[in-house]
Chains A and B, each alone.
Chain A
Amino acid sequence: MERWAARGAIQLALMDGGFDSNSVTAAEMELVVDKLLAKQLVTQKVADVPGVCAKIRAALGGVRDSPSTDTPDRVFQRLGKSKRE
């Protein structure tokens, strides 16, 4: 699979899941790979879809999230922080 085609497939899967490539966390990416990327790869007639997904999942294991990225959902999470929490 071409690199640009792989990037495009991942980008489309992220968009389907409501995520942005610059702020998605490793855990969220795993969810996207498991639930959306496989479908995306099938539509692009990629051979060995489970193998490609397994490779990406393995690569995600070594990714650490940057806690400094402030996204709208993190801001809105903080804004609703109640006294109970």
Chain B
Amino acid sequence: MTLLVVVSVLICSIVGSAIGARLLALARETRQLPELFIGTGVFAYSSIALPSLLIMGLPSLSLGAIRSFQLLQQGANFVTLLAVLLFTWRVFRPDAAWAPALVVAATALAVAASWGSVSVAPQTPGASAIPEQARPYVSLMILVWAVAFGWTGVESLRFHAKMRRRLALGAGDPLVCNRFLLWAIWGLACGALDLLDLAYNLAGFDFSRHPAPLLTICASCLVSGVVWYLAFFAPQSYELLVLKQSGAR
């Protein structure tokens, strides 16, 4: 199980870092905020948060070093969450009055949850288990993540439905339509996995050893890696397949 976790986290980290860097390069070229938000989120999560999570599990690490990586991971996770929220607001609901209120509320809850989580330092080297005192804050953080993922997933699914209607009229790009679907799958799958993690946390599972939460980590990493690759750096063979299926319809 540990090997499966390490492999899936490494795959997601490598794929995500490359795609995050590409999206940031695109943001530099276009000077547009959506690219900047999503590039920052994918890059921070893949190149900082995930490797920090792996390193924290190393038995040879001192408590001081584990503490540093814990802070680094929390910081990167927070940046990613904020990026997903800002991206969803800016892209899907730029004119909705409730959207900035949701972003502010979720950010405030995430700050409180991160603060509470890092206020409890790890007790033993090699264990990334959640200390009991930190569990309520972790539950709150997971809930905010689930809301952010669910929101972006639902908005993208809504737009995917619109794009399908446009395609039926002969307007729109099938690849863009498919990209909305992929982003919706990612958001909804990660949101659902977060709700599972919330249940595991409330049940008091050890996240570093119990197979159920370890499986959700594997699943979310693999879903993220595959979706980011197909959505933002798809191979030509995949694009041709999407175009062919669209033509067949």
Spell out A's residues near B (CB within 8 Å): 16-19, 27-28, 31-32, 35-36, 70, 72-73, 75-82, 84
Contacts and interface: CB of A to CB of B under 8 A. Distances in A.
B170 A79 contact: no
Kindly state the interface size class of chain B when it binds its partner.
Answer: 20 to 34
A76 B176 contact: yes
B171 A79 contact: no
Interface stretch (B9-17, B31-39, B64-72, B125-133): B31-39
Given A36-B169, A76-B176, A80-B176, A18 B234 contact: no
A72 B183 CA distance: 12
B165 A73 contact: no
B165 A16 contact: yes
Given A28-B171, A73-B176, A79 B166 contact: no
The 4 closest A-B pairs by CB, nearest first: A18-B165, A18-B162, A18-B166, A75-B34
Interface of B: 23, 26, 30, 32, 34-35, 38, 91-92, 94, 159, 161-166, 169-173, 175-176, 179-180, 183, 231-234, 236
B4 to A, nearest CB: 30
Given A70-B32, A80-B234, 6 more contacts: A17-B171, A18-B163, A76-B180, A79-B26, A79-B232, A80-B232
A79 B171 CA distance: 19
A79 B169 contact: no
10 contacts: A18-B162, A18-B169, A18-B172, A75-B35, A77-B176, A78-B26, A79-B26, A79-B34, A80-B175, A82-B234
A73 B159 contact: yes
A31 B91 CA distance: 25
A76 B232 CA distance: 9
Contact of A18 (B26, B161, B175): B161
